[in-house]
Structure 1
Amino acid sequence: MKAIFRSFSILRVIIRYRLDVALLGYALPLPVRLIFWCMPWRLLVPVRGNVGQRLRLALIDLGPVFVKFGQLLSTRRDMLDDELAEQLATLLDKVPAFDSQQSKRLIEQALKQTVVDAFAEFDDEPLASASVAQVHSARLISGEAVVVKIIRPGIRRTIERDLKLMRLVAKVINAAVPDLRRLRLHDVIDEYEKTILDELDLQREAGNASQLRRNFENSNLLYIPKMYWHLSNPSVLVQERIYGVPVSDIVAIEKAGISRQELAKRGVEIFFTQVFRDSFFHADMHPGNIFVNPSLPNDPQYMAVDFGIVGSLSQEDQTYLARILLAFFNRDYRQIAQLHVDCGWLPADTKVHEFEGAIRGVSEPIFSKPLAEISFAQVLLGLFQTARRFNMQVQPQLVLLQKTMLNIEGLGRQLYPQLNLWETAQPILEEWFKRQVSPKQVYRQLKQEWPDLVQQLPYLPGLVHDALQQSAHPLPITESVKKGPKAKGHWSGLIGLVFVLAAAALHPIPIANQVWVAPVSTVLGLIGILILWNRGNH
């Protein structure tokens, strides 16, 4: 019954904000168009504002679960036009606080002890209240100032109910408006479901925070508050309270004597360090979650909170992303196109020369600007939008990356409008590449994969036979695609290992009058290492 009432409330909001008008701009089947034209609200309810404004107000009316969905949509600029995305980006995740006595009951149920036993002080007035959780300040028995985050009661049931209705609406839209099927609304809702359900697990958030804290433990770039594990579980999180200046408060930053230029550069450095050194990044770095340490004006340090959303990249994604960015600034569009295919983001039968031409069309206008004005996030956005026309599958980790980069750029240029992101990022990328080709990294990779590769050695004769057969009778393209890049990488790793083993076997053998042994073993070893390194980069 509740679902039926909720469905009617959604229909009421659609009518109130005339969202049906937006659908009339698409090529609708004639019966659907006639139904829309015959609806009585066309004459009774006026259209006010543009579609972005109306959608934003409708999501606010529908409640916090839909507001958070709108926030997610605002990051999908590969799907939405800029005006609509900007309207959705202004959505704020704020809801009325629930009663502090209820907060205490929830804490006591979760921790199996009274609030008085757990805390020396507990502030009944919430610091913040959002759709998923509420935050109170407190002080531990041992004296440390902390904040206590509590999951909102009943929120899981609300989320699950609204997700079902979102899927129903998406199904209706896909049936009524074929042009909108390209948006893959069901995939977007699936992505949102994973994100918001992850946010309901505060123990997972504490784990994310602890990982970030370890990554920056010996760095003055970023401070992550300490987690108190003995007072934390999936529904309650207790962490150190930080006292910082909001990064958006330019007046307070200047008053503290902090260099805005240095602060902007360090923000970019933090982002690229997380992505390329750690492969683990804070993916919700909007101004409300970022502060500046006022006690270190000569050595600017960021402070972060809210670790419910994080992202990570595989080594392959790291490598391809770095190579794509470097190729872009070298205007090597052919390499960019080929890299998208090689890493599996585009179908293997993509016409690379056509994709190259499309990339050139969106990239050349960007280079008409001074380098300091080029936006990394817009570069990625342009590439992803172009790639979608060539059937690029949505890569959730890249969507998070692009969203985070957009936030970092916005913060950086708000602090220092002349910020040159490439100047800051280039040394980090180049240093990362140097580490990838270092002997130490090759040895680490060989050591890690040695057991698996040795296990496959008995299959080597068959592999050689298959390779010879393949050269004589190539497989159809569809069969090659089925085998996929993983199989290719697996066998190339095995071949590389064979070369290394052959070199190791030959090198110590003293063969009289055979001066060729040493150089041949060296060449074999180098070939093996190159194959293994190349496999790691694919």
Structure 2
Amino acid sequence: MPPVRPGSEHSGPGAARYRARYRRILRFAGWNLAVTWWYELFLPRIGLVKIAERTRARRMRLFARRFHVLAVELGGLMIKVGQFMSSRLDVLPPEITAELEGLQDEVPPVDFAQIRARAEAELGMPLERVFGSVEEAPLAAASLGQAHRATLAPSDAEDVGFDAVVIKVQRPGIDEIVDVDLAALRTVGGWLSRVRLVSSRVDMPALVEEFAVTSLEEIDYLHEAQNAERFATNFAGDSRVGVPAIVWERSTRRVLTLEDVTAIKITDGEALRAAGIDPAEVAHVFASVMFDQLFTHGFFHADPHPGNVFVTPRTANADSALWQLTFIDFGMMGEVPASTRSGLRKLLFAAASRDGKGLVEAIRNVGVLLPSADTRELERAMTELFARFGGMGFAELREVDPREFRDFAVQFGDVIRSLPFQLPENLLLVIRAMSLVSGVCSALDAEFNLWDSVEPYAAQLLRDERGNVVMDAAQQVLEVAGVAWRLPKRLDTVLTRIEEGSLEVVNPRLERKVARLERTGRRAVSALLFGALLIAGSVLRADDAVLGTVLMALSALPLLHVLFARGARDGS
């Protein structure tokens, strides 16, 4: 049963309604889990696997459609769950993610009398004493809250320097609804954790808690206000970006009062052109600002859909642009921590050297793959990808037939879905944000290509991190060298135990294999040193031609050792 909080409606007249909500969610999940068990586990065991395969796509689409209906009817966190599921390309099949992709906050508005009561209880006084006026018709209605236009009282307007505001008020009972929904989701997550087919691929309880943290932050309006101010600080002095000011004196955890910055919707091309603004230029600036958030500040708007970004015309000024992008709704924000940046750097270097195996290992280090993952198929797919596209620049990639990319995407998607793979929250939000950015920019400019915007940032990241290349390579060489240095002693210990009879040997060719392993270990040190020197030299050569050339020349020595050792072995 859902938790009962003291003083909440769980222990009052609304308890039956919340229990019914909890049971409805569990019934939906239980029925669909039973159907999945029947088709995916039971039928294959009795030799009817073809029936499961033939009906899988249709069943997945039917499930997604039914969940869409459930989410719209219940509102609350269920719509957020659907939006969350639509972005989990790492966990769910495309039939589900595609069906839920368009799920929005399709909920009817709450009667203004209830919104008034909620706001007055939070602010501690009648709205007429707080605001000069409040529009009863909502500006926007969502599953968690509702927004209304208003004007500040003259004294407050004088203090903050503006009078037009927007009041965001949480829907009545939303705290209790969130409690019930999270309780139901935790129960379902517990069920799924006992299914080996699911638990081998994803940690469901952890995934639910990840969603819970994001959801609880989103219904805390003080947290949203702090996000807005942090975002504004990051872009202070940047004439391209605007952020609504927060009226702290009229804001609480459940009521947020902020400057009304409503302007031209970013995807309204007709209105932009009427204001003398080129939509293609807006697309370029929007992409650039989003990459600044990701790569420069490490703190980014994770939900930059068209309703959350305005284009605001400005008075002509020699020191600033004629318009700016104004962001709103900072409830869902993402961060790119130092550890993730380090992982992305390793991914970049592996990609630069076209090292499929190294790329997969970097993906594992970022935490995307569970330790139990068998990555051989993924390594093969990445090696094929590098073989086909690895030598191409961004301009060349744009000329490749899109069907080739689609073919690789199908192969890559099948491999991914076969692995115990899940994206950490920060990477998931990055992918979500960039997907929305790409869609918005394409709507503004049919010729827009995300490659054009990401190229300078990728190049800058490589330049900024080039000083770490040699250290990283040296550290890896030392680690492997240490293993190789200790290997002969360990092998000698094993052989001694064999001679003494303290180790039972089943394979009579063990000594030959051990000797081959020792030679392989020593060659691995040389191979790694060759690769490290070559990559370091090629990266540094752009800025320091002498040092870069020396490192690349030195890489020939370990390469000769690798080739000589292999030739000697083949000749033996």
Return the TM-score normalized by structure 1: 0.69
Letter in 2 for 1:237: L
Name the structure 2 match of 1:415: 444
Q: What is the correspondence of 1:99-248 to structure 2 with a 5 Å cutoff? A: 99-140=111-152, 141=154, 142=157, 143-173=162-192, 175=194, 178-181=196-199, 182-248=201-267
- Pick closer, same or farther for the CA change 1:248–1:127 going to 2, 3 Å: same
Name the structure 1 match of 2:21: 6
- Pick closer, same or farther for the CA change 1:68–1:271 going to 2, 3 Å: same
Give yes or no for contact 2:244–2:260 (8 Å, CA) kept in 1.
Answer: yes
Aligned residues: 436
Deviation at 1:114, TM superposition (A): 3.3
2:103 to 91, 115, 120: 91
Deviation at 1:248, TM superposition (A): 2.8
The Cα offsets for residues 195-222 of structure 1, whole Å up to 9 and x where unpaired, read as 1111111111000000111111211332
* Bigger CA radius of gyration: 2
Q: Secondary structure of the residue that 2:222 maps to in structure 1?
A: helix
Deviation at 1:117, TM superposition (A): 2.7
Give yes or no for contact 1:277–1:432 (8 Å, CA) kept in 2.
Answer: no
Name the structure 2 match of 1:305: 328
Deviation at 1:318, TM superposition (A): 1.6
Q: Secondary structure of the residue that 1:264 maps to in structure 2?
A: helix
The Cα offsets for residues 382-432 of structure 1, whole Å up to 9 and x where unpaired, read as 989856755456411111111111111111222223222222222123334
Q: Secondary structure of the residue that 2:115 maps to in structure 1?
A: helix
Q: Secondary structure of the residue that 1:293 maps to in structure 2?
A: strand
2:338 to 301, 312, 315: 315
Give yes or no for contact 1:346–1:392 (8 Å, CA) kept in 2.
Answer: yes
Name the structure 2 match of 1:262: 281
Q: Tell me, yes or no, if structure 1 residue 403 matches structure 2 residue 432.
A: yes
Letter in 1 for 2:197: D
Name the structure 1 match of 2:52: none
Give yes or no for contact 1:282–1:307 (8 Å, CA) kept in 2.
Answer: yes
The Cα offsets for residues 297-353 of structure 1, whole Å up to 9 and x where unpaired, read as 975532211101111112231233245256547744344234234555556797887
- Pick closer, same or farther for the CA change 1:53–1:329 going to 2, 3 Å: farther
1:59 to 71, 91, 95: 71
Once residues 258 and 74 of structure 2 are traced to their aligned partners in structure 1, the CA distance between those partners, rounded to angstroms, is: 32
Once residues 189 and 458 of structure 2 are traced to their aligned partners in structure 1, the CA distance between those partners, rounded to angstroms, is: 40
Give yes or no for contact 1:56–1:70 (8 Å, CA) kept in 2.
Answer: yes
Cα RMSD (Å)? 4.2
- Pick closer, same or farther for the CA change 1:65–1:319 going to 2, 3 Å: same
Q: What is the correspondence of 1:247-396 to structure 2 with a 5 Å cutoff? A: 247-295=266-314, 301-325=324-348, 327-328=350-351, 331-343=354-366, 345-346=368-369, 355-361=378-384, 370-371=397-398, 391-392=420-421, 394-396=423-425
Give yes or no for contact 1:13–1:61 (8 Å, CA) kept in 2.
Answer: no
Once residues 249 and 337 of structure 2 are traced to their aligned partners in structure 1, the CA distance between those partners, rounded to angstroms, is: 32
The Cα offsets for residues 38-79 of structure 1, whole Å up to 9 and x where unpaired, read as xxxxxxxx9997443233223323433211101111111111
Give yes or no for contact 1:148–1:238 (8 Å, CA) kept in 2.
Answer: yes
Give yes or no for contact 1:133–1:152 (8 Å, CA) kept in 2.
Answer: yes
- Pick closer, same or farther for the CA change 1:226–1:364 going to 2, 3 Å: farther
Name the structure 1 match of 2:39: 25
Give yes or no for contact 1:322–1:429 (8 Å, CA) kept in 2.
Answer: no
Q: Secondary structure of the residue that 2:198 maps to in structure 1?
A: helix
Deviation at 1:153, TM superposition (A): 1.9
Moved more, 286-295 or 318-327: 318-327
Give yes or no for contact 2:308–2:327 (8 Å, CA) kept in 1.
Answer: yes
Deviation at 1:146, TM superposition (A): 0.8
Deviation at 1:101, TM superposition (A): 3.0
Deviation at 1:282, TM superposition (A): 0.7
Once residues 332 and 178 of structure 1 are traced to their aligned partners in structure 2, the CA distance between those partners, rounded to angstroms, is: 32
Once residues 344 and 48 of structure 1 are traced to their aligned partners in structure 2, the CA distance between those partners, rounded to angstroms, is: 28
Name the structure 2 match of 1:511: none
Once residues 299 and 105 of structure 2 are traced to their aligned partners in structure 1, the CA distance between those partners, rounded to angstroms, is: 25
Gaps of 5+ in 1: 35-45, 440-466, 477-538
